[in-house]
Structure 1
Amino acid sequence: MEGGELDDTAAMERVSARATGAPVEWEADVVLRDGSVAHIRPITPDDADGIRAFHSKQSDESIYLRFFAPLRELSERDVHRFTHVDHHDRVALVATLDGEITGIGRYDRIDPTSAEVAFNISDHFQGKGIGSVMLEHLAAIAQEMGITRFVAEVLPQNRKMLTVFKEAGYEVTHHIEDGVVEVAFDIKPTEQSKAVQLSREHRAESRSVRTILFPERVAIIGASRREESIGALVMRNILDAGYQGELYPIHRVAENVQGIKAYPSILETPHPVDLAIVVVPAAQAIDVVKDCGRAGVKALLVLSAGFAEAGDEGILLQEKLRRRVRRAGMRIVGPNSFGLVNNDPAVRLNATLASVIPESGRLGLFAQSGALGVAVLASAARRGLGISVFASAGNRVDVSGNDLMQYWIDDQETDTVGLYLESMGNPRKFSRIARALAAVKPVVVVSSGVSSFAAPPGHRTRVTNVPPQAFDALLRQAGVIRVENVHQLFDVAQLTLHQPLPKGDRVAIVGNSDALGALSASACVSWGLRVTHGPVSLPPQASAEEFAAALDAAFADPEVDSVVAAFIPPLVTQDEDVHRAVRSIVADYEKPCVATFLGMRGVGEDLSYDQDGTRRSVPVYAMPEDGIRALNAVTRYALWRQRDRGTPVAPNGIDRLRAEALIDGYLADSHEGRALTREEARELLGAYGIRLWPAVEVTSADAAVAAADELTYPVILKSTSPVVRHQPGLVGVRGDLVDADAVRNAYASLSQRLGPLVADRFVVQRMAVPGVSTVIRASEDPLFGPVVSFSVAGPPTELLDDVAHRIPPLTDVDVTDLMDGVKAAPLLNGHRGAAPVHRSALADLIARLSVMADDHPELSSVELNPVNAWTGGVDVLGAEVVVRPALVRKDPGRRRMT
């Protein structure tokens, strides 16, 4: 295709899909098993010619395995039947590369809850996992349509298709009848099927990043003979770093660039290119992508600026770039990227704008903007911290920190990961991947531009409505170490890279200055670390042997998990003697040590030692507070690693299909969404086992008495007006009404008092047992998806913002952390002699709401307020529910790139 044809075709496909009623949200780009990209979309009548072309290229064997007959040509009737579906009882998806169909998957409903599924994958694209991806997507769509079971007929010799079903993680049954294998399985996600899906996603995305970081052949499109140009700088950096692969400069007229043979076009290189580095002007980049796709390039690194960060025209250009790269099956880093570094001796790639980079080491770094890329690399070098891999995502049109984290999970050359994030495109996926990565190695995050802060120009992301505390909670759930700036990132990294993790929060302090000792102890206390040894302050004239003895006593103390060494330059002993004493003692123990030697910072040979075959060093900080802040962060991380992660909450007595039907009914008469009535909310919550207490609206004293008689005494009369609902005290409430006279008197009193405020709208409700009034919320955020919040009702919520947040899906440990995450949590445990609440009942209620919010993105907000928690259980006394048409979540239940 030439010029704008590629993008015109994409637009035509979308228009065609909408015209046939195919849901646009079914479209997805996915990373395949080999790291390439495929586009999945609903089939349309306009695919008729594409279906014929696809069929004509299939082998006789593939045709026979799909149709059980040597059907060399498709009839017009077959083509019409294949391409005309209703997107409900009959659904078909196609996988495409550059608009060419590479796979077809479909299901046909055979009864209300089951459907027959079938696939046909191009001979030239088998083994890439297209069939597995299409099964995931068809299963997710089928569940939305009320289908719970797939069946299929497969010839025994079709081992590839049988393997697709077998390895999907479902409980598959099969039997042979008339020479055909009949396969059947429930498509409701199981723990095994979800694990299989996530494992496949991980392997595919990790492999695609490895292709980028370990290219055997690199082309520089925009290589220049002008020394001051970016193209010349990047090429010089690649050569100076000693790149071990083949390098192809692309220059229209030059025969060689910097002594390397050049080629006029990417289409004329002698071998296919793994990574093409693009440094041409933004306006030319689109045509470059087209040529790269035709040349079979696997990935692009676009250093060129002038895209979304440059304004509206750049935004359109960047989206055009993204679509072209995706359709060509490639991954892209950038645009506006600072570049990539891989210090692996087998690669030695410095494809950045930095001429000097840190030495090889075990720190993996990711930064989004170019300016910060410079700062990050420079800081690492000053600290003496070697890096394994560095990547700058630039405008993050495709490859992001999530992709790099997928790679780092398995990378044996990286021990600690540092991320500088200016925005986040998919927090749910970030949380999921970061949790898996943090389980095996520390993840340190510097973050700005998330939550209520605007994303930098050029970053594709959604606006979020959640408070910054929700993002903090997401990081804590994932075990991520969050720091405030680059300096703190390296404070933590130099500790995790060079010292063992602490086993607890008990600290010893040893030094030769009373002032530094006191400062260190105060810092420990302020960060919540326990000083169990010292501070021990030696005299300034102490010998190296005395230093060693004091340190040895601290390390040997069984009540110590970490040691802080804080020294000023000694008056008598040489620095080297002190360093030698510290090295010799630290090497004898598997406990971490942080040190302050005034005038030093970072890690170096002065304090390096060998321990069990590992080269380590005592990290040095300019002041004790810096080291102790880092020690506290690493201690909290180590304790997170030690904790039981819990099991996913799965309350019983849930009727998802009923809830879905109710929500569909509520939205049928209000396409923009609306608040539910109390009765509607009661019915919907009941589908998830949440019982909302009855409350009867009344407009007269007689009606109030009748309601009280029906509900049984004692009752409460309260105003529903927002004018008084959140006022301190009992402004709009009368409680403990034990008979009709009490109800009449309360009604008269409240009406007289609130009438002038137009707040005399009342409900009658049975009186609850005294307890702790709490608030449980779930809201659907455009960026984060569902967010669950918990607080104690009243001033802690309304004035002090004492609210805890978690991101579903939750484990039982997450639920416990949510309840304990508010400062008012002691009220739940029996504050000042009060009876403790029924925590398990409260936890069950939170779990039910979290699952409900996770299941139904149409739930814009659900607020259970108040929830009365007491010794015998929990009572949901009030609820407000708002439903709206669902947004497409950033991390849906099927694999897709964002």
Structure 2
Amino acid sequence: MAKSAAIQQKNLEKIFYPESLVVVGANKVQGTVPADIIFNILKTDFQGIVYPVSPREHFISGIKCHKYVADIVDPVDLAILVFPSSVCHLAMEQCGEKGIKSVIIISAGFKEVGGIGLEREKQIKEIADKYDMSFIGPNCLGVINTDPKALLNASFARKMPTEGSIAFLSQSGALCTAVLDYAQAKHIGFSKFVSFGNKADISEIDLLYYLKDDPKTKVILVYLEEISDGPGLMKAAREIITETGKPILALKSGRTKEGASAAASHTGSLAGSDEIVDAAFEQAGIIRCDNIEEMFNIAIAMTYQSLPSNNRVAIITNAGGPGVLTTDAVIHDGLQLAHFSDETTDIFRKSLPKTANIKNPVDVIGDARADRYHVAVSNALKDENVDGVFVILTPQSMTDIEKIAEEICLVSGHYEKPLYTSFMGESDVAAGIDILQRHKIPHYILPESMSKSFARAYQFKQRLGKEWTQAAAFDDVDREKAQSILKEARKNKRKYLPEGEAVEVLKAYGFPVSPGGVAKSEAEAVSIAEKIGFPVVMKVFSDDIVHKFDVKGVYLNVNSAKEAREAYQAIHKN
């Protein structure tokens, strides 16, 4: 019997905030997953008690090992399994008997390898259900909680991320390690970081509901290779967005046939139709991203800055070209260039050089220093006609990059409006970018990325203020009939449905279809045409002919019995 949602959420709490945990299959061989996991737990000042269980070791890092889970006297909240998949069921049974309700199964060799691996996954799932246990995995990197109350790094990632407000959920463990490295370089912190692998028990839906009530999480990011419960995911997303206002950003792989095939070999996933995913995410309010960089571009905008109240932006730049490019991006992304008030225009006229462009985009000229940026940025933010500010910097010989960065951070702190930056270049602007990122000012390599991120944040804000409409559901669908036709087509290895079968599928789903019939003689053709009523269309009916026009197999505007006979003869001849 499946566990209730309440049990699943209760057990998830012990996964993120255990007071004690056991690493089952621990060893001290550096460079191995079992050793790295226990060392990660110990070196991050985990706030609970750690019990290593190892058949061979007596001590690991000065901690006494137990041979079996049952040998531990005190209660245990969380078990982390790093045994080979062939014996994981034995470890699960011991954990169940011990009363451990929460488990992370790191081990691989389950559904993703097919055959016996699939049977092993079913076996551990049955054990979990028997004892009301909940588990993340198998085939995963693990779980990280940066909350100082826990400080848990139950993973074999190379590093512990800093604390932040972004939660990251991923079906791919290897992607997690790359994301952690990417985020560290940009000073992006996380609240919770979860690799859920094959999601044989705890799914992304369970994790989303947990994060819904997590006070440490402001924005949720999800990487998925397959969606096993579309309606459940949509329902969860709607509830989270409407009740908490937390944005959900998703990266769904398997857009192409080849990508879907790769996903199947990775986590045993079946990727669904990409068009359906797009539509479902749109209905649910989930922001779909095309790549990791875009996902984090939008995430930092929504985490670090307030959501824009409207779509009017001001562009401040020290170079004309990037200002023009950004203007194009603003218009392309459905935003507007703000029109400054007379007061703001007067201040710019008095405070900026005569050669400066005081209209939007504001060009403070290449020799601009921190004082000039201060005037432009602060007054743009102050203007009631401006909903957000984009600040662009290109490094000139006289540009005091770090001071400008510090000034932007200072000014931004005095206003509620969103401010995004783009210090263009790499080595020369690196120190300035570092200042911005440490102060949680969104920074983008390309100015155009500011526009796209602002547009997504604005669209999300608009969505929050609208009433959600429930997707229509139809009960008068003959699903069995449609499935039988499709099943037969697959059985015969057909890549398309002939018109007659396609029409029957449409009828099964309640779509209105034009009357018609299949004629095997001139007389039948005339009879069917007269029954329908002229004019009619006549076309060849054959499984071997897909493109009927190519063989002159279609006749339009057949207006009489005589024309029906002639059309039949012509089609038959062709």
Quickly name the TM-score band, shorter chain normalised: 0.7 to 0.9
* In structure 2, C-alpha distance between the alignment counterparts of 1:724 and 1:287, rounded to whole Å: 56
1:617 alignment partner, SS class: coil
Which one-letter code corresponds to 1:365 in the other structure? F
1:290 aligned onto 2:96: no
Which of 203, 212, 227 is the matching residue for 1:400?
Answer: 203
Corresponding residue number in structure 1 for 2:464: 641
Equivalent in the alignment of 1:606? 435
- Change in CA separation of 1:601 and 1:731 when aligned onto 2, cut-off 3 Å: farther
Counterpart in the other structure of 1:384: 187
Q: Which residue is equivalent to 1:719?
A: 539
Output the amino acid matched with 2:455: N
Matches within 5 A, 1:47-66: none
Q: Which amino acid counterpart does residue 555 of structure 1 have in structure 2?
A: L
CA change 1:330–1:697 in 2 (3 A) is same
Structure 2, unaligned runs of 5 or more: 340-359
8 Å Cα contact 1:520-1:628 kept in structure 2: yes
The one of 322, 326, 329 equivalent to 1:523 is 329
Residues 580, 227 of structure 1: CA spacing in aligned structure 2 closer, same or farther, 3 A cutoff?
closer
Which among 459, 465, 468 is matched to residue 267 of structure 2?
459
User: Structure 2 residue aligned with 1:448, among 244, 253, 273?
Assistant: 253
Q: Which moved more, 1:275-284 or 1:307-316?
A: 307-316
Q: Deviations over 1:778-826 (max 9, x none)?
A: xxxxxxxxxxxxxxxxxxxxxxxxxxxxxxxxxxxxxxxxxxxxxxxxx
Residue in 2 aligned with 1:567? Answer: 393
Q: Which residue of 1 aligns with 2:366?
A: 540
In the TM superposition, residue 258 of structure 1 has moved relative to its aligned partner by: 1.6
How far apart in 2 are the matches of 1:681 and 1:731?
19
Q: Which amino acid aligns with 1:418?
A: L
Richer in helix (by share): 2
Structure 1 360/573 Cα, relative in aligned 2: closer, same or farther at 3 Å?
same
How far the C-alpha of 1:676 sits from its partner, in A, is 12
Residue number in structure 2 paired with 1:500: 306
Could you say which residue in structure 2 is the equivalent of 1:509?
315
Amino acid at match of 1:32: S
Deviations 1:83-127 (A, max 9, x none): xxxxxxxxxxxxxxxxxxxxxxxxxxxxxxxxxxxxxxxxxxxxx
Query: SS in structure 2 opposite 1:457?
Result: helix
2:276 is equivalent to residue 470 of structure 1: yes
Q: Which residue of the partner structure matches residue 357 of structure 2?
A: none
**Alignment of structure 1 residues 279-678 onto 2, 5 Å:** 279-309=82-112, 312-439=115-242, 440-449=245-254, 452=257, 453-454=260-261, 455-457=263-265, 459-462=267-270, 464=272, 466=273, 468-532=274-338, 534-569=360-395, 571-572=397-398, 574-598=400-424, 599=426, 606-607=435-436, 617-649=440-472
Shift of 1:429: 2.5
Percent identity between matched residues is 26
How far apart, CA to CA, are the structure 1 residues paired with 2:498 and 2:568? 27
Bigger mean CA offset, 564-573 vs 717-726? 717-726
Q: Could you give the per-residue CA deviations for residues 498-530 of structure 1, whole angstroms, max 9, x where no partner exists?
A: 011123443322200012112222333444444
Gaps of 5+ in 1: 1-28, 36-204, 610-615, 758-898
Whether the aligned pair in 2 keeps the contact of 1:494 and 1:619 (CA below 8 Å) is yes
Does 2:555 align with 1:747? no
Give 1:622 shift.
1.9
Residue 31 (1) aligns with residue 3 (2): yes
Distance 1:355 1:708 in 2: 73
- Residue 262 of structure 1: CA displacement? 3.0
In structure 2, do the counterparts of structure 1 residues 753 and 590 end up closer, same or farther at CA, with 3 Å as the change threshold?
Answer: farther
User: 1 CA distance for matches of 2:499 and 2:271?
Assistant: 29
> What TM-score, normalized to structure 2?
0.81
Indicate how the Cα distance of structure 1 residues 319 and 459 shifts in structure 2: closer, same or farther if over 3 A, else same.
farther
C-alpha distance in 2, partners of 1:510/1:604? 17
Secondary structure, in 3 states, of the residue corresponding to 2:324?
helix
User: Secondary structure of the equivalent of 2:167?
Assistant: strand
Deviations 1:637-660 (A, max 9, x none): 333334332244378xx767xx68
**Where is the strand percentage greater, Structure 1 or Structure 2?**
1
> Displacement, 1:228?
4.4
Q: Distance in 1 between matches of 2:235 and 2:39?
A: 39
CA distance in 2, matches of 1:367, 1:687: 35
Paired residues of 2:223 and 2:250 also in contact (CA < 8 A): yes
Deviation string, structure 1 residues 727-755 (Cα, Å, up to 9, x no partner): 399972433x7xxxx41342244234322
Q: CA deviation at 1:620?
A: 1.1
Please give the TM-score of this superposition, normalised by the length of structure 1. 0.54
Q: 1:421/1:663 Cα in 2 relative to 1: closer, same or farther (>3 Å)?
A: closer
Q: Which amino acid aligns with 1:250?
A: V
Residue identity opposite 1:732 in structure 2 = V
What are the superposed Cα offsets for residues 258-299 of structure 1, whole Å, 9 maximum, x if unpaired? Answer: 222332321121222211111223333221111111111112
Query: Per-residue deviation at 1:625?
Result: 2.8
Superposed CA deviations along residues 446-471 of structure 1, whole A, max 9, x for unmatched, are 2323673122436344464x3x2222
Q: What does 1:771-810 correspond to in 2, within 5 Å?
A: none
Contact 1:339 1:352 in 2 (8 A): yes
CA distance change for structure 1 residues 685 and 564 in 2, over 3 Å: closer, same or farther?
A: same
Amino acid at match of 2:435: D
Q: Is the 8 A contact 1:396 1:460 kept in 2?
A: no
What is the match of residue 71 of structure 2? 268
Post-superposition shift, 1:214? 1.5
Cα gap change, 1:219 to 1:692, in 2 (>3 Å) = same
